[in-house]
């Protein structure tokens, strides 16, 4: 019996990774910086805090990285205030988990205010027992700290929790935590290395619901 479901947010619950990708070029233009290669985006997915700042600095060693990230977050606040579409099957899966008395937690690298705004705007805040943000941990994904903290919020064993993630870094974190890790790829398909780390891979959250129904029997 599952003791909890731990959800990533960007790219998993909401179609928001594309929004972040569209904001970065605006930031680079405002700061007078060249556009990065695609690897800047793929390698950084799921990261936050110091780890993400180090990632940005790797590509822009001479830039004012704190100012660059502050600008990104400010633009993100403005954009997300307008709402972001939910991913297919999100509400269906949340309703199923509620019916099964399986508590849910959001564990996202995003700031807490952004998580709260997205959940409130979409009308799904009541489905979640707790929230864990990138501000609540000292180590970002792929470190498992955020998922271990989420499980502790539920007073649950992490091995009896399912972690739902769209990014390779999130899958690495879920695997390292010892959770049942389900990948729902968004912008990055799993490579052979990531395929060895997740427990299941689903096309969307509707398929996750079907999987949980089948494995419950």
* Model pLDDT, residue 174: 98
Selection from 203, 216, 188, 151 nearest residue 7 by Cα = 151
pLDDT (tens digit per residue) in 58-88: 999 999 999 999 999 999 888 888 888 999 9
pLDDT digits (tens, 9 = 90+) for 6-26: 999 999 999 988 888 999 999
Average pLDDT over residues 151-174: 97
Contacts of 58 (CB under 8 A, 6+ apart): none
Q: What share of the chain is helix, strand, coil (3-state, %, to 5)?
A: 50, 10, 35
Instruction: State the average pLDDT over residues 138-154.
Output: 95
Categorize the per-residue pLDDT at 215 as very low, low, confident or very high, splitting at 50, 70 and 90.
confident
The span from the CA of 117 to the CA of 199, in Å, is 31
Which token pair is 203?
A: 């096309």
Average pLDDT rounded to a whole number, residues 161-175: 97
At 217, the pLDDT band (50, 70, 90 cuts) reads low
Checking if the pLDDT of 33 tops 80, the result is: yes
Per the model's pLDDT, the better-predicted residue between 65 and 50 turns out to be 65
Q: What is the dihedral of CA 51, 55, 57, 58, to 10 degrees?
A: 130
What DSSP state is assigned to residue 194? Answer: H
List of residues 6+ apart from 38 with CB closer than 8 A: none
């Amino acid at each position: 019996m599952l003791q909890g479901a731990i959800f990533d947010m960007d790219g998993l619950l909401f179609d928001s990774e594309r929004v972040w990708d569209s904001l970065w070029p605006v930031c680079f233009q405002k700061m007078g910086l060249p556009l990065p290669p695609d690897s800047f985006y793929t390698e950084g997915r799921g990261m936050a805090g110091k780890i993400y700042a180090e990632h940005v600095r790797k590509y822009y060693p001479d830039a004012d990285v704190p100012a660059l990230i502050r600008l990104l977050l400010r633009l993100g606040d403005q954009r997300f205030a307008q709402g972001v579409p939910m991913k297919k099957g999100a509400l269906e899966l949340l309703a199923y988990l509620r019916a099964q008395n399986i508590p849910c937690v959001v564990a996202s690298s995003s700031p807490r205010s952004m998580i709260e705004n997205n959940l409130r705007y979409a009308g799904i805040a009541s489905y979640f027992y707790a929230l864990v943000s990138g501000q609540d941990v000292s180590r970002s994904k792929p470190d498992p700290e955020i998922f271990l903290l989420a499980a502790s919020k539920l007073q649950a064993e992490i091995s009896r929790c399912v972690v739902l993630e769209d990014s390779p870094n999130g899958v690495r974190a879920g695997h390292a935590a010892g959770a049942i890790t389900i990948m729902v790829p968004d912008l990055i398909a799993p490579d052979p290395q990531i395929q060895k780390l997740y427990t299941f891979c689903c096309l969307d959250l509707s398929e996750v619901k079907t999987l949980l129904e089948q494995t419950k029997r």
